[in-house]
Chains A and B, each alone.
Chain A
Amino acid sequence: MKKILTGFFVLSLLLTLFSGMVAAEVQLKFLHRWTQEPYYSFFEEVAADFEKLNPNVKVDVQAISNDPFKEKIKIILGTEQGPDVFFSWPGEFTNRFIRAGQVYDLTDVMEQGWKDDFVYSQLEPFIYNGKIYGSPFRLDAKVFVYNTKIFQEVGVAIPETFEDLLRVCAELKQAGITPIAFGNQAPWAVSHYIGTLNQKCVPDQIRLTDIQPEKGTFTHPGYVEALKKYQQLVPYFNQNANAIKHDEARINLFNGKAAMMYLEIVEIPEIERSAPEEFKANYGIFKFPVIEDGMGDQDYLTGYPEGFVVSANTKHPAEAIAFLKYLTGKEVGKKEAQELGFINGIKNVVDKGEVKDSIYDSTQIILEAKSLVNWLDSSLHAKIWSVYGPELQKLTDNMTTPEKIMQQIVKTAERVRSEF
């Protein structure tokens, strides 16, 4: 027994020694959130390509999938061996790390010309208090994807206004079809609806003040109004929305069991890859309909880019920045567009014809939008979202009222303000 034990200790000692020797070259730790194929391999390839271009650098690629990522990133950033380059959602989700001094300030390097590579509207979300902290990896926005065949058969048109949408849903339901597929097991799904509705019902200045944790009050009546609008949609969702995952619900859209679904544009490549031919040939997209008496700007689009940031604790800032620049640059962007169907934030990264039309066209919607509204969950302070998210699920099950929810949010916002 003793011998085995000594063996283990010696072995582990040797291993540490060896890893120390290998580390003579620069070792970068890179963390993203795409554990599924083909995305996972894509990042491995990009890292390998970067290593080829920079023989002195080794990139250690790690991935944690979407929902656990939101917790794990906080565990990891609290450790000594945090990643050098990591994924993050711009907005409050990243801002909290910036406030804690965890994110490298890229302003100086960006100002040396790098900044000009980007479509500015896609870089803007990474700016906090006037400084640039990240680089966009893929553009995204939320639209309704609908089954053109079903719409035709039932005889309904694309809704222009929210009232239209309710009418269309009613007719679809009468025809025996689930109007809207919805999987809300993780409440980020409902946050996309509420984010959109809040934006359309609350004046922009007030909404933009409210998402700042040190100032937010959430007292404007538009917030209650938004939830009431959402309540009107609830009867048109599939059963058990809170019990199924987003991807599970999406299968119903693909199989023609549901007529439409509020999806992200980045899901279009997934449609092209895994939906049945029948659906691929018969789908279209439309923007969230206008709320005629809404107090917010009706031309905005809900959606925000996602991207990567460099850790403030990196021991190799030059190499980490070089990798970030490569990862979110034009060359990788082209490969990304063609292999994954994601468009990054670089100007004219692909031309029409270089990727599928559905992908190119949907991206234009994002680029042409008057302005983008960040996802509700990643734009709110953790404590406010900790109340908002579960309450919104409750509302989906008709277990609470809009007024009650907003009372709680107001109270929580007050507590958050007091902590700044």
Chain B
Amino acid sequence: MSQKNSEQFIRTCLLLILSLLVIAIVLPMGWIVLSSLKNNNEFFSTPLKLPGRLLYVNYQNAWNLGLSQYFINSVLVSGVSIALTIVFGSACAYGLTRFYFKGQTVLFYLILGGLLLSPQVAVLPLYRMLNQFGIYNTYWAMILPYVAFRLPFAIFLIRSYFISFPRELEESAYIDGCNALTTFTRIVLPISKPILASTAIVTGIFVWNEFLFALIFIENKSLMTIPIGLSTFRDALTTDYTTMLAGIVIGSLPIMILYLAMQRSFIKGLTAGSVKG
């Protein structure tokens, strides 16, 4: 009986601590959301009170002030970056695992070495290079470097999956009349969907949230992604704080919803990744 009581006590204590932490996480977010529904005067004079009237118009304003365009850009840049990373990454992983040739390991380590290099180190020469290629200030100025910096990890991830396939897989495919390319597209890729999904998510999160490259490689408002858009928003709206807050909420919501909808793949991708931001 006392055993059970003390267990109950511990459980209550732990739940209390956990709930306090929940407050610490949720309160700042909640405050931002509530404030984003106020007008500026309310926000300045009574920062802790609930909004008198919910001003959804802030959201409308933020959306119309350019966020809609940033949103489209983010979707486009993320989409293309994910697609290219998956296509080139899985092809390369296939070439590295299903063929046997001299220098294979060296090549793998060469590509893997890219993981050791931080994007910051490359940003200044990249800026010059993109400019020489004539793609500075275009979608490609973001997409190409993103893909390049995500490929080593994607290849690492997909390779470790491919490597577990038995050799017989291709042999039977060959009997069915496949060549290397069709084996890859018809046999290998379809059974690799889970790992491709994880790769896509890790790549997507990185691209969706990336700041430094987008800051330096993009100049036109019409090409900016959400992170850069939000920060220019702040500079432009020096006095209209609540619209700014609405913008932050709109910018953060999609990826949160996506997470809640696809927790499993998210966690799998991120834990396999173990690489932050």
A-to-B contact residues, CB < 8 Å: 1-2, 4-5, 8, 12, 35-36, 62-68, 72, 75-76, 78-81, 245, 247, 251, 274
Contact B131 A78 (CB under 8 A): yes
Query: Considering the chains assembled together, what is the distance between the CA atoms of A92 and B87 in angstroms?
Result: 50
B-to-A contact residues, CB < 8 Å: 44, 80, 83-84, 86-87, 127-128, 131-132, 134, 136-137, 139-140, 185, 216, 219-221, 232, 235-239
Contact B235 A78 (CB under 8 A): no
A-B contact sample (13 more), CB < 8 A, given A12-B140, A75-B216? A1-B83, A1-B86, A35-B232, A64-B232, A65-B232, A65-B236, A67-B235, A68-B235, A72-B219, A75-B219, A76-B219, A80-B132, A274-B239
Which 8 pairs of residues, A with B, have the shortest CB-CB distance? A35-B236, A65-B235, A79-B131, A247-B238, A79-B136, A65-B236, A76-B219, A36-B236
Query: What are 6 pairs between A and B in contact, CB < 8 Å?
Result: A5-B83, A8-B80, A8-B83, A63-B221, A67-B235, A245-B238
Contact B238 A36 (CB under 8 A): yes
> Which residues of B lie under 8 Å from residue A8 when comparing CB positions?
80, 83
Distance in angstroms from A137 CB to nearest chain B CB is 19
Contact A80 B136 (CB under 8 A): yes
Contact B128 A78 (CB under 8 A): yes
Select one of A68, A79, A274 contacting B137, CB under 8 A. Answer: A79
Contact A68 B232 (CB under 8 A): yes
Query: Considering the chains assembled together, what is the distance between the CA atoms of A245 and B127 in angstroms?
Result: 31
The residue in chain A whose Cβ has the minimal distance to the Cβ of B137 is A81
Distance in angstroms from B247 CB to nearest chain A CB is 14
> Which residues of A lie under 8 Å from residue B137 when comparing CB positions?
79, 81
Query: Considering the chains assembled together, what is the distance between the CA atoms of A36 and B137 in angstroms?
Result: 22
Contact A62 B131 (CB under 8 A): no
Contact B87 A1 (CB under 8 A): yes
> Which residues of A lie under 8 Å from residue B83 when comparing CB positions?
1, 4-5, 8
Contact B136 A62 (CB under 8 A): no
Query: Considering the chains assembled together, what is the distance between the CA atoms of A67 and B232 in angstroms?
Result: 11
The residue in chain B whose Cβ has the minimal distance to the Cβ of A68 is B235
Query: Considering the chains assembled together, what is the distance between the CA atoms of A62 and B220 in angstroms?
Result: 7
Query: Considering the chains assembled together, what is the distance between the CA atoms of A10 and B83 in angstroms?
Result: 15
> Which residues of A lie under 8 Å from residue B238 when comparing CB positions?
36, 245, 247
Select one of A1, A4, A81 contacting B136, CB under 8 A. Answer: A81
Query: Considering the chains assembled together, what is the distance between the CA atoms of A26 and B49 in angstroms?
Result: 55
> Which residues of B lie under 8 Å from residue A81 when comparing CB positions?
136-137
Query: Considering the chains assembled together, what is the distance between the CA atoms of A1 and B192 in angstroms?
Result: 14
Query: Considering the chains assembled together, what is the distance between the CA atoms of A52 and B189 in angstroms?
Result: 56
Query: Considering the chains assembled together, what is the distance between the CA atoms of A66 and B221 in angstroms?
Result: 15
> Which residues of B lie under 8 Å from residue A251 when comparing CB positions?
44, 239
Distance in angstroms from A62 CB to nearest chain B CB is 6
Contact A80 B134 (CB under 8 A): yes
The residue in chain A whose Cβ has the minimal distance to the Cβ of B65 is A37
Query: Considering the chains assembled together, what is the distance between the CA atoms of A27 and B263 in angstroms?
Result: 48
Contact B131 A80 (CB under 8 A): yes
Contact A62 B219 (CB under 8 A): yes
> Which residues of A lie under 8 Å from residue B86 when comparing CB positions?
1
> Which residues of B lie under 8 Å from residue A76 when comparing CB positions?
219
Query: Considering the chains assembled together, what is the distance between the CA atoms of A75 and B87 in angstroms?
Result: 32
The residue in chain A whose Cβ has the minimal distance to the Cβ of B140 is A12
> Which residues of B lie under 8 Å from residue A66 when comparing CB positions?
235
Query: Considering the chains assembled together, what is the distance between the CA atoms of A8 and B87 in angstroms?
Result: 14
Query: Considering the chains assembled together, what is the distance between the CA atoms of A192 and B80 in angstroms?
Result: 47
Contact A5 B87 (CB under 8 A): yes
> Which residues of A lie under 8 Å from residue B80 when comparing CB positions?
8
> Which residues of B lie under 8 Å from residue A65 when comparing CB positions?
232, 235-236
Distance in angstroms from A76 CB to nearest chain B CB is 6
> Which residues of B lie under 8 Å from residue A245 when comparing CB positions?
238
Query: Considering the chains assembled together, what is the distance between the CA atoms of A263 and B101 in angstroms?
Result: 72
Distance in angstroms from A254 CB to nearest chain B CB is 11
> Which residues of B lie under 8 Å from residue A72 when comparing CB positions?
219
Interface centre among B84, B139, B216, B235 (most CB of A within 10 A): B235
